[in-house]
Amino acid sequence: MSDGIPHVTGVDHEFVDAGGLRTHVALAGDGPPVVLLHGWPQHWYLWRDVIPLVAPHARVIAPDFRGFGWTEVPEEGYEKTQLARDVLALLDELGIDEFTVAGHDWGGYVGFLLAMEHPDRVRSVLAANILPPWPPRDRRVALDSWRFLYQPVLGTPHAGRRAGRAIARRGLAEAGLSPADVDAFVSRLEGERGVASERLYRTFFFRELPGIVRGRYSPVALRTQTRLVFGQRDPILTTHGVESVTGQSDRIELELVADATHFVVDEKPELIADRLLRLLASPVTG
């Protein structure tokens, strides 16, 4: 398939009309379904080195969120709950009921929402470098909220897309991605997709965050087996903050990776694939 979609051996690509959205999805392998969800500033190609390791053991489904990669770019619907509904609509079209989900950054956040709101469908969760969606109890963590002030900047019309491309290019390069791989991601943040990136952050900061702070989500709602892999060189999230927030749930097993940044999936694909396959092989706990 052309359209500028990067090539990964053994991966097929489809465009599926699901829930009123024309969604691009990368598909590979056969077996128990595994849904791979990307974060910002990436798309399905985040999983390029993980898919070949997982596909021999599972049916891999790696979609692009609305506005990202090669999926349609609507004007609305960038709430993370809507992204979760988009995923479920796609899986319904593909005939998939129960699944394991792995997500990085916003993809991990959506994975948490799927598990908390649809525990009957989510078998297990692997999240990477993202906080669960409940507020911290530790005052030290709350005082670190200044670290997230980049979000309204990324959500600012016009300025956000320019700042976003610069931040994305620097962060991906510092994580050791090749120039070609950096370009594969940053080139998809231009034009209307740059606008979608702004909407993603503006929606979160001004519409979703107030509800989260007020306790919209609770750790008791997470009853699904979950592993969170955290690259400790993340420039925004701190180890203390992640330990504090994940420690509120007895369903989350936290794994710290000292020599990885925020982009732990790109940096440690073998580790991510191994942890995902372990989840697939483990019995379901309820």
**232-262 confidence digits (pLDDT tens):** 999 999 999 999 999 999 999 999 999 999 9
Residues 3-34: tens digit of each pLDDT:
889 999 999 999 999 999 999 999 999 999 99
6 cis-preceded (ω within 30 degrees of 0): no
Domain boundaries, the chain: 12-281
Supply the pTM of this predicted model.
Answer: 0.96
pLDDT (tens digit per residue) in 151-163: 889 999 999 999 9
State pLDDT tens for residues 89-99. 999 999 999 99
Longest CA span, the chain: 50
pLDDT tier at 1 (50, 70, 90 boundaries)? very low
**Fold that domain 12-281 belongs to in CATH:** Rossmann fold (3.40.50)
Residue 222, classed as helix, strand or coil, is coil
pLDDT of 81 reads: 97
Is 45 within 8 Å of 178 (Cβ atoms)?
Answer: no
* Rounded to 5°, angle at Cα 227 from 261 and 100: 110
CA distance between the termini of the chain = 41
Here the tokens at position 262 are 């925020």
In this model, does residue 127 exceed pLDDT 90?
A: yes
Task: Provide the pLDDT for residue 283.
Answer: 78
Q: Give Rg (Cα) of the chain.
A: 17
The answer to whether the beta carbons of residues 104 and 38 sit under 8 Å apart is: yes
